[in-house]
A and B are shown apart, each in its own frame.
Chain A
Amino acid sequence: MASAASRFAILGEHVRREFFMKAFSAGLTNIGRKRDNNEDTFYVDDKIALYIVADGMGGHRAGEVASRTVVSSVRDYMDAFSSSEAAQRLGTGEVSPACAAVCHSIELANRVVHQLSQDQGSYKGMGSTAAVAFLHGDTLVTANVGDSRIYLVRQGKIEQLTQDHTLLAEQMRKNPSFDPHFSTSPMKHILMRAVGIQESVQADAYEMQPLSGDIVLMCSDGLTDMLSDHDVLQAILQGGTLDETCRRLVTLANERGGIDNITVVLIQFEKEEKGLLQKLFRSR
C-alpha cells in the first residue's frame, strides 16, 4: 500500500511540474577598423530580460548621443512596465501588452531624440536605429526601426526576425526580381525609417514562443555588412560560451574589413523548472 501511495505522490509531482523560460546573454561592441568613433550602443539585462541595440547617426558626437538616448529611453520605459502589473494588462487585439509596451518605448525614444535634435544645433538631424528584444513570461517580443537586425538560430538554422527599413530592402520586398548587388548598393545604407529623425515613428514588432536552446542574435549593420547570414550561423554553431561567440563574430567582421562599428548581442533561452531549488531541499 505504501508503495502505491508513494507512486501517486510521484505522479502528482510530475503533473505539477511547471517550467519557465529563462534568458541569459552576452554583448560586445567594437569601433571597427575605419571609423573614428563608436556610435553603437547596446544594453543587456537578464533580470527583466530586455536587450537593445542602437546604431546612431549624425555628425560630430551626435550619433553617440542618439543611440545612447534610445537605449536609456527604452530601458526606462520597459523597467517601468516590468514593475507595473497594471501596465501588463494593457494589450490590444493584435498584440500582447508586452509587445505594445516595446512599441511604445521606441515611440517614446523617438520623441526624446527628436526633441533633443530640435533643441541643440549640434544635434540637428541625428537619429538612430533601434532593435529591441524582450522576454515576458514565455513570449519573446522583437521589434526594430532601421537596419539593426535580430536573428533566431534554432535547430541549426538561421532566420531573420526583423525587416530592414532600408531603400534596398523595401525595393526588394516590392519587386522580388530586383537584383541587389549587396555589398555595393548605395540603397543599402539609406534608411526609410529611423528613431528621432521625424516627429513620430512606427516600429515593426513580432511575437514568438522561444524554445529551450534557441539563440537570438542582435547586431548593428557593421556585422551584417561584412558577414552573410551563413557566415554568422557558422560562427554561432561553433559553440563555446556566448562571450566567446560574440568575440568570434566581431573578430570575423574586422578581418573582413570592419568598415563600420560592430555590435553583437547574443541571448540564449533555457527552460528552468519552477521551484526547483525548493524541491531539492525538500527531497533531502
Chain B
Amino acid sequence: MARIILKFKELVLKNFSLQDGGKTIGRAPGNDVVLENLLVSGHHARIDQAGGDYILTDLQSKNGTYVNGTRITTAKLKHGDQILVGKHTLVFELDAAQVSTADKDMVEATMFVQSAGVASGLLPVQTVPGVETAAGPTPVEPPGILSYLSGGKGEHELTKKLVKVGKGEEADIQIGGFLTPKVAATISKRPTGYHITPMTGRVKVKVNGTPVEGSQRLEEFDTIEIGAVVFQFYFGN
C-alpha cells in the first residue's frame, strides 16, 4: 500500500495512507494534508491515483512543489521520492511488493484515473470553488461574435457548433444580396478555434480582404466579407 510520510526537517510528523485514492495538500483547512506555513499555498498540490501509479500535480502554487530537488508541474511518484512543499517534506513510499512491480508495463498501458471524489470523470478539484488551479476546470472559451460592419445591424453570437450564413431558410445568419446563395459560408467551432468555409464560388468570401481558399481559422477582429455584407469577428465575455 502506498503512503506519504510527512516530515519537518528530520522529525516525522505523520503518516498518510494513499489506499483510498488521492490526497490534497495545502494551507487551507479542508485539505487532506494541512500544512500551517506561509510558504504553502491554500491549495498547493495534489496526489492522484491512476491505475497502479500516483501522480503528483502542483496546483500552480506560489512557491512551487519540488521532487528530489527539482521543481515540477506534475510527476509520477517513485518509491522514496522526496516531495518538498514549503519547509515540509513528504516522502512517498510503496510496500516492498509494489516496488518490484511498479514502473513495469504501466507506462504503456492505458488506464483510467481513480482519484478521490471523482464523479464527473474530471479531476475533483472542481469541488473547490473559486480556486484557479492547474488541475482546475478548463477555462470556458468565450463565444465568438459576428458584428455587422455594413449590410446589416447588430451582432450574432456563434453559439451553435456549425453556423450557416446565407439567404436560405436553413441559414442561421440570414443575409441578403442578389447573388447570395442559400448557404454562402459556414463557420464551425472546433478544438482549434472558429473556422470559416465558403460554400460556392459565386459569391466571394474574404477575410481581411483576401479571398478564402478552402477554409480559414478566424482570429479576433478579422473582417469577413460575404458579398455585400461585412462582419467583424470578435470574442464575447
Contact = CB atoms under 8 A, between A and B. Distances in A.
Interface of A: 34, 55, 57, 93-96, 99, 125, 127, 139, 147, 154-155, 159-163, 165, 167, 170-171, 173-175, 178-179, 184, 186-187, 189-194, 197-198, 201-202, 204-209, 211, 221, 259-260
A94 B108 contact: no
Contact of B74 (A147, A187, A201): A187
Contacts of B188: 206-209
Of the candidates A193, A198, A201, A208, the one having the most CB atoms from chain B within 10 angstroms of its own CB is: A208
B195 to A, nearest CB: 7
A146 B160 CA distance: 23
A205 B161 contact: yes
Interface in B39-95: 50-51, 53, 55, 57, 60, 73-74, 76
Given A208-B162, A211-B197, A174 B113 contact: no
Given A93-B160, A189-B110, A208 B51 contact: no
B160 A94 contact: yes
A174 B51 CA distance: 23
B214 A154 contact: yes
Interface of B: 50-51, 53, 55, 57, 60, 73-74, 76, 106-113, 121-123, 134-136, 138-139, 159-162, 186, 188-192, 195, 197, 199, 213-215
A94 B199 contact: no
Contacts of B122: 170, 192-193
A207 B197 CA distance: 12
Nearest to B215: A154
Given A178-B73, A187-B55, A191-B112, A171 B134 contact: yes
B190 A161 contact: yes
B121 A192 contact: yes
Contacts of A154: 214-215
Given A154-B215, A191-B110, 6 more contacts: A93-B160, A147-B110, A175-B60, A189-B107, A208-B162, A259-B108
Contacts of B74: 167, 171, 178, 187
A191 B111 contact: yes
Contacts, number: 125
Contact of B191 (A163, A221, A260): A163
Contacts of B110: 55, 57, 147, 189-191, 221
20 contacts: A95-B161, A125-B112, A147-B110, A159-B190, A160-B191, A162-B191, A167-B55, A171-B57, A171-B135, A178-B134, A186-B53, A190-B55, A190-B112, A190-B113, A207-B161, A208-B188, A208-B197, A209-B199, A211-B214, A211-B215
Given A170-B138, A186-B76, A57 B161 contact: no
A68 B74 CA distance: 34
Of the candidates B189, B191, B192, the one having the most CB atoms from chain A within 10 angstroms of its own CB is: B191
Nearest to B73: A178
Contacts of B76: 186-187
B109 A189 contact: yes
Contacts of B73: 171, 175, 178-179
Given A173-B138, A209-B197, A211-B215, A197 B186 contact: no
Contacts of A204: 191
Contacts of A193: 121-122
